[in-house]
Amino acid sequence: MNKLTFVAKFFMIAVLFFGLAACSQDKGQAAGDKDARGSMKTVSLDVQGMSCGNCVNSINEALADLDGVSSKTVSLDDNSCTVNYDASQTNQDEIIAAIESLDYTVQMKN
């Protein structure tokens, strides 16, 4: 085998090896990220000051802008809000601050 063929084969094997290693590392990292992000939490809040459907829409939009919020339910009838979120991306203080920034009064439910 001449020197050029050997170098070409060596290069192809190296690319293949490191490419597979990178793929398996990415998959492992993604699984690790999922485990780290697996800390889904729920916060239930009393929200005072809502008077109409536009209030509900405003809160829904503000919560949708937060990274990590996976679902939310805002109830005008109950003056409440329940938010499911990824604790590695946001927290209940940020959720409360987002709602309070719209001039609503927010308290944790007991």
Q: Is the Cβ–Cβ distance between 46 and 4 less than 8 Å? A: no
Note the pLDDT tens digit of each residue in 74-106.
Answer: 999 999 999 999 999 999 999 999 999 999 999
Return the half-sphere exposure (C-beta side, CA atoms, 13 A cut-off) of residue 43.
22
pLDDT of residue 45: 98
Does the CA dihedral 54-55-58-64 come out positive or negative? Answer: negative
Per CATH, the architecture of 39-108 is what?
2-Layer Sandwich (3.30)
Ranges in the chain, pLDDT < 70: 1-38
Domain ranges (residues) in the chain: 1-37, 39-108
For the question of whether the overall pTM of this predicted structure is more than 0.85, the answer is: no
Residues sharing a CB contact under 8 Å with residue 97, sequence separation 6 or more, in sequence order:
none
Q: What is the pLDDT of residue 110?
A: 73
Helix (H, G, I), strand (E, B) or coil at 44: strand
DSSP class of residue 89?
T
